[in-house]
Amino acid sequence: MTDTLTSYLTSEVEIKYAILPADTLYNLPEQVEILGVYITTISKAGSPRKVDIIGSLGESALMALEDEVIESLNV
């Protein structure tokens, strides 16, 4: 018999982002756009490879990463 458990992990990721310029027409400040979220895994051959996991993240996770980028820029 096989059982399945859903859990959460905390892993180090590399975030690729761009700073979008302020939009004076719509009175919007500069914004952060997340372009990629990469996790390093080990292939079956034993070599490291980066995998983009942005497609598997929900909107709230992406917003949290945007906030983290903003905080790191304001330091």
Give the model confidence (pLDDT) of 9-27 as tens digits: 888 999 999 999 999 999 9
Cβ neighbours, 10 Å, residue 37? 20
Least Cα distance to 13 among 47, 75, 62 occurs for 62
Give the model confidence (pLDDT) of 13-71 as tens digits: 999 999 999 999 999 988 999 999 999 999 899 999 999 999 999 999 999 999 999 99
